[in-house]
Amino acid sequence: MTRMGGDTIRLICKSLFLLYAWGVSVSLYAQLNTENVIVMGRNALGAEDYVTAIRYFNEVIEAKPFLEKPYYYRAYAKFLLDDYIGSEADCSSSIRINPYQVEVYRLRGLCRSHIENVAGAIEDYTYVLQRFPNDQATRFNRGLCYFYLHENAKAEAEMTDILKRWPGMARAYKVLIQLAFNSGDTVKAMGIVDTLLWYRPADSDGWKLRGQYALERQEYALSDTCLTKAIVTQPNNYELYLLRALARNGYNRLGASISDYDKVISLIPEHFVAHYNRGLLRALIGDNNRAIEDFSFVLNEEPNNILARYNRALLRQQTGDFNGAVNDFTYLLKQYPNFLYGYLVRAQCRRRLGDIKGALNDESMVARANLDVTFGQRRRPIKKVRSMDDHRFDHYDQLIGEDTDSMTRSLGHLFAKDNFGLVQKRYTEAHLLPAFILTFLLPGTERRYYSDAYLPEVQYLEKKLANEKIRFTAEMNQLNVIPNDMMEKIDTVMLPDSLERQLVLSIILSDAYNYEKALSVLNKSNGEAKLNETKFLIHLQTAAVILRQNQLQTDNNVERKINDLLRVEIELNKAELLSPNNVYVLYNRACWAAMNGDNVMAICLLKKSLDIDPRFPEAYYNRGILYWQMGDIIHAKSDFSRAGELGLFKAYNLLKQIVSN
């Protein structure tokens, strides 16, 4: 064995030292890089750019899945996007790594409250309170969970304990008020309202409850006073003006009541009840022309509203619009041929118009019955309030009560959860993503996603085709046929002999959205491909082009559509034989099934593709839409959450639509 010299040994040691130093520096760099990415993600959270924050935390989690904080930060970003399912899952992942993070339990409790896992939320809140017993928000949330579970004794005890610690917490009083109403103890409820107003004299909800209670007891002046105090702190709350209008009408402050309806209409111009009630009050004070305008607005919204049409008919008669009155009464009498008073008034209008024959016919109808001629002749002060569903003619001059007449029902909105998240407000149509199609666009673009399950052989062939595309495009340029003009001049160019070149040309055309020409190129392929990978790509591309073309068709040629879908099935079957369990074949077959209306089969195929490649966001997105269409909201939200996490961020738009609805 040859002995190594001293210089050789020193050189080897020096090399080993440099390799060690390089490895340490790379390790430190990776560590610093991870920390920097977390900082950038937190900065994005602070800027309310939650989607960008999720991208940063995705990178950290992929690089170092053993860190608990990135899961927590990503959970927080998802929570602010209303993705409570995804947020709860990330919180659980963070807790599995480090089970002693109080703030993560607190966030998971909020998520579980939103996804109606109330028992689980109570467990998380209890864990937090064992360590921080003076956490006011968490204690209140636990009491609210008891309330939702109808464990009234525990809810009351929790809220009472909160008020001992923090006597001025308004929301705790409101829960106790609701509990008192639920038990039927109105006196106790009003006593709690008084206590609330003693601690919080400007609390709008407290004055509203007091005003509603006085309105139900017909204490109109007191109700007016209470609701006015509520309006001081909530001047744009239209419900308060509706209630005060009813109270003011109750003790004949008609002008003030009309002013309240004016305010409601200025806040919500299309408010049906405000227009109807204002029309009645205007008629009562003799402002008939503007009353007609209000009833006309109501009839534009609801042409079959018989009471609005009856009121407008009477007003038209009083203002001399006899033609309009005749038209309105004719409409009513077609639906209610036994409404004798309608015949009497129409007869009077027809006489004023000179239609004596028509008037005599109406009067003969009236003469056959005993008519109460006093019915409906004189408007009387409006004291009673009818419901929206009450269409009796003898209630034509009663105001419509807003759907807050029940004290128990009116409290339902007091405990609405806060609306988090200021981004992702764009509206997204709930359409399925199109079938996968071959493309030369760069990865990460809107139309292309590279899955980890994509066959290595296909990747190699695609790279080969990409080089072929460059050469082929150069030849097209020599013929003065650039890609943009290729669609117009393709028939004048000799079709390439190679199947691979034909496939390249179809991809170029499909990238330009010219699916018809791309399909014609694929149809003219007569030779046999030597490689199974090439055959697979041709069949996959043919099926995808037909599916895309079929989605864009606007005609109703049923026979053509059926033939196209049958050919898609044939091409996908051939592709599946060449590459069994390929995620893109399964995905395209799911698109084919959905176009056939077989949503159940489409969901099964998407599930199979996700079993092979669980990081396929388009599959989650389309399955979420199918679940949504079938009414399975829970699974839809779960799939949209996963699609958004994997980078298909418009899934969060649909998730917010589901939550807001």
Say how many Å lie between the first and final Cα of the chain, rounded: 82
* pLDDT over threshold 60, residue 444: no
Mean per-residue pLDDT of the chain: 78
pLDDT recorded at residue 22: 41
pLDDT one-digit tens code per residue, 309-326: 999 999 999 999 999 999
pLDDT recorded at residue 260: 93
Question: Residue 533's Cα: distance from chain center in Å?
Answer: 42
* pLDDT over threshold 90, residue 125: yes
Q: What is the mean pLDDT of residues 54-82?
A: 91
Q: What is the mean pLDDT of residues 484-497?
A: 49
* pLDDT over threshold 70, residue 473: no
* pLDDT over threshold 80, residue 286: yes
pLDDT recorded at residue 266: 94
Q: What is the mean pLDDT of residues 7-32?
A: 44
Among 247-261, 548-562, 593-607, where is mean pLDDT lowest?
Answer: 548-562
* pLDDT over threshold 90, residue 130: yes
pLDDT recorded at residue 585: 86
Q: Which residue bears the tokens 């399964």?
A: 586
Give dist(CA 361, CA 343) in Å, integer. Answer: 9
Q: Is 399 helix (H, G, I), strand (E, B) or coil?
A: strand
Among 5-19, 50-64, 74-88, 441-455, where is mean pLDDT lowest?
Answer: 441-455
pLDDT recorded at residue 494: 47
* pLDDT over threshold 50, residue 446: no
Contact status, residue 518 vs residue 509, Cβ threshold 8 Å: yes
The number of beta carbons lying within 10 Å of the beta carbon of residue 55 is 18
Among 156-165, 463-472, 576-585, where is mean pLDDT lowest?
Answer: 463-472
Q: What is the mean pLDDT of residues 120-138?
A: 93
Distances (CA, A) of 18 to 11, 13, 15, 28, 31: 11, 9, 5, 15, 20
* pLDDT over threshold 50, residue 281: yes
pLDDT recorded at residue 400: 59
At 389, the pLDDT band (50, 70, 90 cuts) reads low
* pLDDT over threshold 50, residue 168: yes
Q: Which residue bears the tokens 């898609």?
A: 568
* pLDDT over threshold 70, residue 79: yes
User: Which residues, other chains included, contact 127 with Cβ-Cβ below 8 Å and sequence gap of 6+?
Assistant: 102, 105
* pLDDT over threshold 60, residue 4: no
Give dist(CA 559, CA 440) in Å, integer. Answer: 33
* pLDDT over threshold 80, residue 572: yes
At 30, the pLDDT band (50, 70, 90 cuts) reads very low
Q: Which CATH architecture has domain 456-660?
A: Alpha Horseshoe (1.25)
Q: What is the mean pLDDT of residues 153-165?
A: 93
CATH number among 1.25.40.10, 3.40.640.10, 3.40.50.300, 3.40.1350.10, domain 9-124: 1.25.40.10
Look at residues 305, 351, 368 and name the one whose alpha carbon lies nearest to residue 331.
Answer: 305
At 258, the pLDDT band (50, 70, 90 cuts) reads very high
Give dist(CA 71, CA 92) in Å, integer. Answer: 9
pLDDT recorded at residue 122: 94
At 440, the pLDDT band (50, 70, 90 cuts) reads low
Give dist(CA 505, CA 110) in Å, integer. Answer: 54
SS (H, E, C) 487-533: HHHHHHCCCCCCHHHHHHHHHHHHHCCCHHHHHHHHHCCCCCCCCHH
pLDDT above 70 as % of the chain: 74
Q: Which residue bears the tokens 């995808």?
A: 544
* pLDDT over threshold 60, residue 383: no
CATH 1.25.40.10 range(s) for the chain read: 9-124, 456-660
Q: Is 553 helix (H, G, I), strand (E, B) or coil?
A: coil
Q: What is the mean pLDDT of residues 163-188?
A: 89
pLDDT recorded at residue 535: 78
At 531, the pLDDT band (50, 70, 90 cuts) reads low
pLDDT recorded at residue 385: 56
pLDDT recorded at residue 116: 86
Look at residues 219, 282, 648 and name the one whose alpha carbon lies nearest to residue 444.
Answer: 648
Can you list the alpha helix ranges (DSSP code H) found in 302-372? 306-318, 322-335, 340-352, 356-367
pLDDT recorded at residue 534: 72
pLDDT recorded at residue 654: 84
How big is the chain by its Cα radius of gyration, in Å? Answer: 36
Give dist(CA 147, CA 604) in Å, integer. Answer: 39
pLDDT recorded at residue 653: 83
Give dist(CA 534, CA 579) in Å, integer. Answer: 11
* pLDDT over threshold 50, residue 28: no
Sequence length of the chain is 661
pLDDT one-digit tens code per residue, 594-644: 888 888 999 999 999 899 888 888 899 999 999 998 989 889 999 988 888
* pLDDT over threshold 50, residue 442: no
pLDDT recorded at residue 425: 53
